[in-house]
Structure 1
Amino acid sequence: MTTMTTATLEKAAEKAATVEFRSLRREFGATVALDGLDLTVQPGEFLALLGPSGCGKTTALRMLAGFEHPDSGAVLVDGEDVTHVPAHRRDAGMVFQSYSLFPHLNAVDNVAFGLRMRKVRTSERRARAAELLDLVGLGDKGERFPHQLSGGQQQRIALARALALRPRVLLLDEPLSALDAKVRLTLREEIRRLQQELGITTLFVTHDQEEALSVADRVAVMRAGRLEQCAEPAELYGRPATAFVAEFVGTMSRIPGTVQDGTVEILGQRLPVDGQAPGAGEVDVLVRPEAVQVRGDGAGTATVVATAFLGAVVRVTVRLADGTEAKADLPAHEAAELGAGSAVRVSLPERPVLVAPRVQK
């Protein structure tokens, strides 16, 4: 991808918009797609909407695009209520999972389609399309038709088309999910680099937590039409606000513990609780695999169940004395001596831990 001119960058930065969802509610029959969604996206921010299928993330995006309307609540762009403004007047560019290119148009004409609908002169729209194709690394593919392009190339064309009208907001609805792993990784890096160059306010819908954490300034985790937490990736991963966020974002093990006097007893240790401690009683302690410490010990009460090589680390699954399984990520040299059936001792670092109500298995 090429670097944009200073003038183009300044023009893009000037148009970056603030987006607000205010108490959005939408029902489809008996299904509640959005249940009072409140969320603000800052100018020039790259925000990922993350959650499982059916959580409402795509519905929220379609409301911003103008393809859906809420039963109640409002959508604002730079303080202007656009809830009932037609889609073609929203000043938003959208990229879909399925590319949605016109098969009878070549790449240049696909990119220039919106400009043609706005009666922009032929020479100007073709020049703009050529500029954008160059920007997405396809400057030499302008005369090719969609069937002559790979999936990744088609999605780049769709991205260029979304940017052709210089929108104030860019909307990306699962744009990488139809691509293979290697192309997906490359394109997500290019999308992030392009967004930073343009400075355009961007909402990115995905169910892939790794994707969201790697590209977004902030990640908004949704569940059942509601916002669970919106935070920067490091905070979301390291200090999840709810058990759902903790387990949806990354790998998390539940280890039984007992709370008393604001601390939790677990694995023979007593550790402080991260956040407000619940009343005395049984809880599950939620721990990341990189926080679980495992060492071989013939007198240990835990047993290695399985190991999996993950490249930089080996993930070791251990079964505790009560039958609970936990996962630990260890350097390869430490895991080398821990085969299935090995007796081990399991511990946690001396720092606050996240707890949740006990889940009976």
Structure 2
Amino acid sequence: MTDLVSDPKTISPTRTGATVEFRGLRRTFGATTALDGLDLTVEPGELVALLGPSGCGKTTALRTLAGFERPDSGEVLVDGEDITGVPAHRRDAGMVFQSYSLFPHLTALDNIAFGLRMSGIRKAERRARAAELLELVGLSQHAGRYPHQLSGGQQQRIALARALALQPRVLLLDEPLSALDAQVRLTLREEIRRLQQKLGITTLFVTHDQEEALSMADRVAVMRAGRLEQCAPPAELYERPATAFVAEFVGVMSRIPARTGADDGTVHVLGRRLPVNGRLLGTEAVGGTGEVDVLVRPEAVEVTADKNGTSRIMGAAFLGATSRLTVRLANGAEVSADVPTHAMTTLPVGAAVTLTLPERPVLVDRRRASDGGGS
């Protein structure tokens, strides 16, 4: 696959990125609430990924910004200007869809130039601009090809170039990579990010793919039931989730039954007393003694072969340099743990093991009713 041109001489940013604000957006469809008071600000030149389960409202938020949906209440602002009532064709936003939506009867060059033609740009100027964008996305040699003569990745590049042709203030990407195979998706997401950073265009990216969101975005906005759960840089979202929903939705997280200490900010888990990271997710604080769950990532769980261990390996999945074990505790809870693949010779399925956690603060949440007994 041809890379995007890393430093094209003919294309440069013509303006700085715009500030985008959602203020108290609410949108319902019959009895279904798609947006429930959404508040979010996207800074100039920033790429924010909207991430969440199906039906959480992320696509509705994007379509509301594009002008394809009208909110029941709330405001959409771009650079401080309220555009809530502005028609879609006057919003100065470029949009790339999952389905590409290229015109089958137009060549790659003419697809890119279509919006320029509709805007009354002279033929010579629009064709020159389209040619520059073809160079930018690395497809100059395919200018005369029709969509059916291009691969899926190439079609999506053309769709991206078409969205950029009118130099919009905001770029909107609605799951643009989900129809592509894994290798093309990996390459194209890196190239989209590189291009977005070069042009400095404010971008909202809707995806259900956590890896895409975490690898591409400056910040990830996790949505649930029409509301914003947390918006933060990827590392903060992964390491310091604000809610139990974010903790379990982003990445893999296991729940280990535990018991809190006597108002000392610690928790007893897997035979060790560990400090809590400062709060009980979803509540105000950890206090008193009681049954809770400790939330842990697979890479934080240490597994040791132990013939007298009370835990047992129930399954293993090869992930390359690491393998992911499913370990069942004596109380029935199951925990995911990542170990070096070379260590699997001493950790076969069915082996008795002991699990431990490193001595650092842990995330704690209310005990779920379905969890097993204490630690």
* C-alpha distance in structure 2 between counterparts of 1:291 and 1:130, whole Å: 50
Q: CA offsets, 1:123-146, max 9 Å, x none? A: 000010111011111111111111
Q: CA offsets, 1:275-310, max 9 Å, x none? A: 224333111111000000101011111111111110
* C-alpha distance in structure 2 between counterparts of 1:195 and 1:319, whole Å: 45
Aligned pairs (5 A) from 1:1-361? 1-5=4-8, 8-11=11-14, 14-260=15-261, 261=263, 262-276=265-279, 277-279=285-287, 280-361=289-370
* C-alpha distance in structure 1 between counterparts of 2:180 and 2:369, whole Å: 39
Q: Tell me the SS of whatever aligns to 1:140.
A: helix
CA contact (8 A) 1:75 1:83 kept: yes
Q: Tell me the SS of whatever aligns to 1:109.
A: helix
Q: CA deviation at 1:7?
A: 7.6
* C-alpha distance in structure 1 between counterparts of 2:365 and 2:340, whole Å: 29
Letter of the 2:336 counterpart: K
Change beyond 3 A, Cα 1:46–1:142: same
Q: CA deviation at 1:272?
A: 1.0
Q: CA deviation at 1:9?
A: 2.7
CA contact (8 A) 1:255 1:284 kept: yes
Q: Tell me the SS of whatever aligns to 2:140.
A: coil
Q: CA deviation at 1:4?
A: 4.3
CA contact (8 A) 2:38 2:226 kept: yes
Q: CA offsets, 1:133-179, max 9 Å, x none? A: 11111111111111111111111110000000000100000000011
CA contact (8 A) 2:18 2:79 kept: yes
Q: Tell me the SS of whatever aligns to 2:141.
A: coil
Q: CA deviation at 1:334?
A: 2.4
* C-alpha distance in structure 2 between counterparts of 1:54 and 1:312, whole Å: 35
Q: CA deviation at 1:6?
A: 6.5
Give the gaps of 5 or more residues in structure 2. Answer: 280-284, 371-375
- C-alpha RMSD of the superposition: 1.1
Q: Tell me the SS of whatever aligns to 1:9.
A: coil
TM-score by length of 2: 0.94
Q: Tell me the SS of whatever aligns to 2:71.
A: coil
Letter of the 1:179 counterpart: L
Q: CA deviation at 1:189?
A: 0.7
Q: CA offsets, 1:58-114, max 9 Å, x none? A: 000011111111100000000000001111111100000000111111111110010
* C-alpha distance in structure 1 between counterparts of 2:209 and 2:101, whole Å: 22
TM-score by length of 1: 0.97
CA contact (8 A) 1:316 1:335 kept: no
Give the gaps of 5 or more residues in structure 1. Answer: none
Q: CA offsets, 1:12-34, max 9 Å, x none? A: xx231000000000000000000
Change beyond 3 A, Cα 1:124–1:59: same
* C-alpha distance in structure 1 between counterparts of 2:103 and 2:290, whole Å: 61
Q: CA deviation at 1:8?
A: 3.9
* C-alpha distance in structure 1 between counterparts of 2:46 and 2:148, whole Å: 34
